[in-house]
Structures are given as structure tokens and as C-alpha cells.
A = this chain, B = another copy of it.
């Protein structure tokens, strides 16, 4: 009975689809999620928010969530852009950026002169023909092209319809330059590992709670964590027939997951 919830010291929460639903002028909180976050914090469990959001700086992302009633601060958020910045610094890489305007400040301290790699995020309106050609030319001009992608999502839904996500544009550049992108963000193992390192826990002590069967559940499990799928956000019944990812449990929503986990403490 709920063995999946035992011996836990830390929780990793996906944000969009778990805390709130995006779209409609900022988003709508999911019922019970704000209270659930407060209960996790009161319990003494460690907590990280782990998102693939790349359309805003963490500062603005967190402000939006606070406005929706969530107890969340910037230093609790693991996001692709800061993870990419660490990689750029470690390897002396100077990026050409193809990202959303609102994400650019995350790269403020990074040297971008004379680029020797391309960083692609969900650039949205910045995915123009001219910008794609420019990123391509920078890449193909390198002796050994380095492409870093902030996520590998296929598409997502906004109030005005489905939109191609960064993964599609990553594939276009991969094909044109005959390279393989390095993906930063979920489901990359390193991304989950950095969230765990920030909390100082081992994978087997942590549970991921997310709505995305591949990026959240599959990614966390690959890293040795347990993972439960909420039936909010992008969850669809057909996820339960996924050919190779099986969550440790399904829950109605974050509130139910937290109920069960706190009962086992």
C-alpha cells in the first residue's frame, strides 16, 4: 500500500500542469496545489521545483507563481538556462543565442563575443526564417559544431492553439549540420542530478511529481528516483499505455500525492 511513498527525504515538483495550468493571461492555479506546497514545506521534506520553462527568467517565472498564491522563491527552482550557463562557463563556450527575448537576461554574465556554440530555447516569435538561418550559419561555420538545446519538447498548447516546441527546431538544426544536440533540462539525467545535488539527497531518497510521462516520469526514473504522474496538466489516459515508461504510481493531483507521502513520514 503506497510503498512508493516510503523513506522519502525530498520532493521534486514539475511546475506547469502540476502547480498551475498555463495560458489565459498568466495561468490558473490547480486546486489544492498551493496548499500542498505549504504542507510540504511545513513537513520538513526538502523541495525543488524542476521546470523546462525557457520563455522567462526564473525571477519573472517565480513572480508569476507567487501571484497565483504559491510559496516559491528563485533559489528553489531548477531551470534549463542556469544549467546551460554552468556548462558554458565550465567549457569556455561563448553562445550564439536563439532564445525567447525574456530569457536573455539569464545569460547576462556569459561572454557572447565570437561565438563557438549555439544555444537554442523555446524562442517562440524569435523562430524567424532569418534567425534560424543565422543560427545555422554560426553552427555550420564551426570545425565541430556544438548545439545546446534547452529541452527537447515536441509541442505545447497555448490559448490560441498548439505551438511547435524547441525540440522541433533543434531537430532542424541537427539535420542541417549533421550534429547531435546536447539537451539541457528534463529528461536529461544531469538535470535531475543537479536538482538532487542542490538538496543534498540521493536519487533513491527523492520522488518526482510531474504530469509529463517522458520528461518528468521517465527522466527521473532514469536517474534512479521514484516518480508519480498526476492526472492534471498534459496527462492523458493513453499515457498509461506508454511503451517503456511506467510511473511508480498515479495520483489525481499534487494534493493527493502530498496526502499519501505525508502519511508515510
Residue numbers of A with Cβ under 8 A of B are 124-129, 132-133, 136-137, 140, 154-155, 161-165, 167-169, 171-178
Contacts and interface: CB of A to CB of B under 8 A. Distances in A.
Cβ-closest 7 pairs across A and B: A168-B172, A171-B175, A172-B172, A168-B176, A127-B129, A171-B171, A154-B176
Task: Kindly name the residue among A167, A169, A172, A173 whose own CB sees the greatest number of chain B CB atoms within 10 A.
Answer: A172
A128 B126 CA distance: 10
6 contacts: A124-B129, A154-B178, A167-B176, A168-B172, A168-B175, A171-B171
Nearest to A161: B137
Is the contact region of chain A dominated by helix, strand, or loop, or is it mixed? helix
Nearest to A178: B154
Given A168-B173, A175-B171, A176-B167, A140 B127 contact: no
A127 B176 CA distance: 15
Given A127-B129, A129-B125, A129-B127, A162 B140 contact: yes
A162 B174 CA distance: 15
Given A136-B162, A165-B176, A167-B175, 14 more contacts: A124-B129, A125-B129, A126-B129, A128-B129, A133-B164, A136-B164, A137-B161, A140-B155, A140-B162, A154-B175, A154-B178, A164-B176, A171-B171, A171-B175
